[in-house]
Amino acid sequence: MAAQGRLRDDVALVTGGCGGVGRGISQELASEGCRVAVNYLDTPDAASATVRELCALGVEAIAVQGDVRREQDVDRMIAEVAAHFGSLTIMVNNAGVQTWGPLLDVTESDWDLVIDTNLKGCFLGIRAAGRQMRDHGGGVIINIGSGSNKAPFPSLAAYTASKGGIEMLTKVAAVELGPLGIRVNCVAPGAIEIERTRLEMPDYAGTWASVTPLGRVGTPSDVGRAVVMLASADAAFVTGQTVWVDGGLFNQPPWPRQ
């Protein structure tokens, strides 16, 4: 039963937690007994469906609406979760967007949308959760990065900048919040097959599997299991780190292939 899992005493908030990678993270946390608050912006039906899935795993789950770009929304979400469950022990800053286009064609509005959602949203989540955890004995914060942490992606200038920023924000947060009993880490997925990525190219899975050492693309559950590991006591002495969930993709140099 989920109640016997590694996280049975924990409460998590997952931003962007009802679709794609976020949904997989929410499901894996719940499968380990964690009570989960699923954040959404403008997809209440998807949030409700995810909550039902999590409850079917034997845990309590709720949906919380909020825009991670807005300080008052993030503070309110943290307060709602703490009021409902009594505490917040795990914060997963997952919400993210991307816009495609050559660097010289990136508009200011597109840049602001990506940076505000991905990087500012992560900052606001760390700060609000960190304040709550500071006052309640500590906790765990996990930020979702990307292969863009390590490699520049053409036509994704804003996204790459935001994800690289998240990695460094993770490090400074780990240093500052460690004395408060708060661990902060980053999970950086590689090629993960979700509805959005399947729309990026005709054969997303086949294309990326062919260049990934483990010979396949990842799933949202792969990312979720890494989040669970970092959130659990198994990682009690791990902070300030980036865990790559990429099948070895971004660890290999671009050797010429036969």
Active-site residues: which are they?
159
- Cα–Cα distance, 225 to 208 (Å, whole number): 21
Tokens representing residue 237 in the block: 């002495």
SS3 letters for the chain?
CHHHCCCCCCEEEECCCCCHHHHHHHHHHHHCCCEEEEEECCCHHHHHHHHHHHHHCCCCEEEEECCCCCHHHHHHHHHHHHHHHCCCCEEEECCCCCCCECHHHCCHHHHHHHHHHHHHHHHHHHHHHHHHHHCCCCEEEEEECCHHHCCCCCCEHHHHHHHHHHHHHHHHHHHHHHHHCEEEEEEEECCECCHHHHCCCCCHHHHHHCCCCCCCCECHHHHHHHHHHHHCHHHCCCCCCEEEECCCHHHCCCCCCC
Backbone angles phi, psi at 249, to 5 degrees: -55, -50
Q: 191: which residues sit within 8 A by CB, 6+ positions away?
A: 147, 197, 204, 208, 209, 212, 217, 218, 246, 247, 249
